[in-house]
Structure formats: structure tokens, C-alpha cells
Amino acid sequence: MRRGFMHWSQQELPPAALDARVARLQSVMRTQGLGAVLTYASFAQPAPLQWLCNYIPYWSEAVLVVWPEGPPTMLVAGTPRTHGWIRSVSHMGELVAAPKPGARAAEILASKLSAQALVGVIGLDSLPWTTAEPLLAAGWGPRLVDATAAYISVRHPGDDAEHAMARTARAIAEHAIAAIPATARKSSEVLAALDGAARLAGAEEVLPRIAPDLGLSATLLRIEGDQELGSRYAVDCSMAYKGVWVRVVQSVTGGEQPALWGDAKTWFDHLLPKVGGSRSMADLVATAPAEVTHWALEASIGVAPLSVVASSNWPSEQVLPPNSLAVFSVQLALSDGLWLRSAPLRLGAGALAKASAEPVTA
């Protein structure tokens, strides 16, 4: 529910990069004979719309209409008073005030497309009913097709701009975890240090979780109120930097780091370059120095910022091209307790390199 720093730096994400993303989608649209592609966004479903035009509805909803040629049209539920700000943080063609984006989308499609035109929808199944209903009521139902696969086919491996921002995001997340005081005994101390440090360094959004006592459980919790921490706990700094999400999970101890944690980290660090390579994930995790109680590989393959590509419970792997941005997470049952770690990576290329500019703290 919380939205922080929002900004579009044209140095970090040049308009040409966004134009190129749209052009890649348009190329597939023309191949598939789609008259338009729609993508809906709230801040819970921001990914495709943000990737195409850098807009994230901090509140309310938006629908982006991508045409086979030319710049996309964006329909936003907010008032026209916010259009100046929206223009300052995003890149599109026409910007239309649409209190009911689905209804307005139906009108715009009718004004521009033939009665037989097919319209792709990224994340068609998950399109919220308030947006979908007016499209169906206007007769578009039979001509709506799922464009998620078309989107994913052009989404990865991402461009230089996205990779650079992911490196910055990783650096901010690690900086935020490093800001946790060694003396922290309560979750509130950890979360205050983490959240404050991340936002001061430029994080747009932070979704922190804590496994308060690794002696009891490895489940990462959303904390309401406060919890006492065990001598070993884990912290998840899932966060966005200008729309690019990473997840960094680390196990933490206030005292001396257990020897087995060093072995586990060495294994994890050596594993990262192999993730997304020729060996299956099952083979890779079989090399762990202890029982792997859970693993997951996530990437931006849907409407949410990160979705599961494969996991220990669901090993079938969606094929993404080398260098695609992803997050690998693992849980080990070491002989002296549980250990968690997550890190962003490029498939087949390993951990993200250090950001060229480390986060700045005021």
C-alpha cells in the first residue's frame, strides 16, 4: 500500500529504450494480426505497463493501449490534474482521463478498429472485472485474446537500461540490509533501519519480511506490530528502484557468523552463474551442502513484478533467454539450523555486477 519515490530519469531510461520496447511488441502484434494490445495496471499488477511506458499507478488504475504503429495511448483513472505529473514520470502518446478505463478503452477501440479486429490483452485471465465488464458489454469479448505469451516473447532478456537499474536496486537492497543494527532485538528495529535506508537511497517501494527466529521457522512474515528476534533471523528486502524489482534475502545473526553459513554462502555464490544454464535446477540444487527444503526461481513473466518460473514444488521451468533478469531463492536445513538466501541474477551469467553508482545516503 505504500508508494515512495517516483521519478523518471531519462539518463537511466532513455525514451528511445521505451520506444524500442514498444516497437518489439508491435512487431509481434503485426505478425499475429492484433489490432491493439491492452495492458491493465494497478500497483499490484504494474509490470507490463511499467515496462512499456514507465508509468506505475501509485493509486487507482490505468490501461495502456498499444497500437500496431505509433505511440501507445494511456487511459488513467486519476483526474486530469495529475496529468502533468504523469507526463513527467512516463512516456506515451495520448493521455486520456478515464474514470472507468475499461469503458473508455472499449470506446477508443471501437473508434479505431474494424469490427473484426482482434485485441490482445496481457494477463487476460487476471483482468479485473470492473475493467473487463465494459469491454465485454461493448461486444469485444469474442475478439479478446491473451497476449501474455506475445509479451513475454519480447520482454526478456531486457535491455541495458533495465539491467543497470536492477544493479542499482540490488545495491540499495544490500545497503539497506547492511544498515540493520547488529544489536537489533525486535523486528521494528530491523524494519525501521531497512526501510529508512532503502528509501533514503532511492527505493521506490519496499516490501520487507522477517523470519524472526530461524531456530523455529524459516517463514518470512509480514510483521504487524512487533516481534522479538531470535539469535538468528532472516530478512527479506524485496524492493523496487524506479519500477525494477529485486528480492534480496539474507540470514542474519547479531553474534559471530556460524561457520556453516560461510559454506552455504560459498555454495550459493558458486551456484548463481549456473542458474539458467544447461543443467536443470534439480541437478544444481542437488549439489547443496545440506538438505534443500525449498528453492524458487522468479522473473517478471506476468502482471506482477515477480512471478515463479520454477520451484521445488513446481519444477517445470519456463524457458527464458540467457541474460534474463531473475531472482533465485533457497532454503537450507543446515545441521545447526535453517538458512535462507535470495539474490537477483542474470540467467546463465550469475549475480548482478556491482552498480556503477552505489546508493547515495543523505
Q: Which residues bind another protein (CB under 8 A)?
A: 1-7, 42-45, 58-59, 79-82, 84-85, 124-130, 132-133, 187-189, 191-200, 202, 206-209, 217, 219-226, 238, 294, 296, 304-308, 311, 313-314, 329, 362
Q: How far is the CB of 259 from another protein (least distance, A)?
A: 27
Q: With respect to another protein, which residue has the nearer C-beta, 218 or 271? A: 218
| Residue 123 backbone zone (phi > 0: left; psi -120 to 50: alpha; other: beta) | left
Looking at the Cβ atoms of 19 and 125, the one nearer to another protein is 125
Q: Which residues of 178-217 are buried (b: 16+ CB within 10 A; e: fewer)?
A: ebbeeebeebeebbebbbebbbbbbbbbbebbbbbbbeee
Side-chain half-sphere exposure of 317, counting CA atoms within 13 A: 19
Indicate the residue among 81 and 255 with the shorter CB distance to another protein: 81
150 versus 349: smaller Cβ distance to another protein: 150
Q: How far apart are CA 119 and CA 68, in angstroms?
A: 11
What's the closest the beta carbon of residue 212 comes to another protein, in angstroms? 11
Nearer to another protein (CB atom), residue 26 or residue 195: 195
How far apart, in whole angstroms, are the C-alpha atoms of residue 227 and residue 188?
Answer: 7
Contacts with 348 (C-beta within 8 Å, 6 or more apart), sequence order: 273, 275, 276, 277, 322, 323
Smallest separation (angstroms) from another protein to the CB of 200: 4
Half-sphere exposure of 339 (CA within 13 A, CB side): 23
Least distance from another protein to the Cβ atom of residue 190, Å: 9
C-alpha angle 86/89/92, rounded to 5°?
Answer: 70
Work out how close the CB of 130 gets to another protein at its nearest, in angstroms, rounded to a whole number: 5
Least Å from the CB of residue 221 to another protein? 6
Nearer to another protein, 26 or 187 (CB): 187
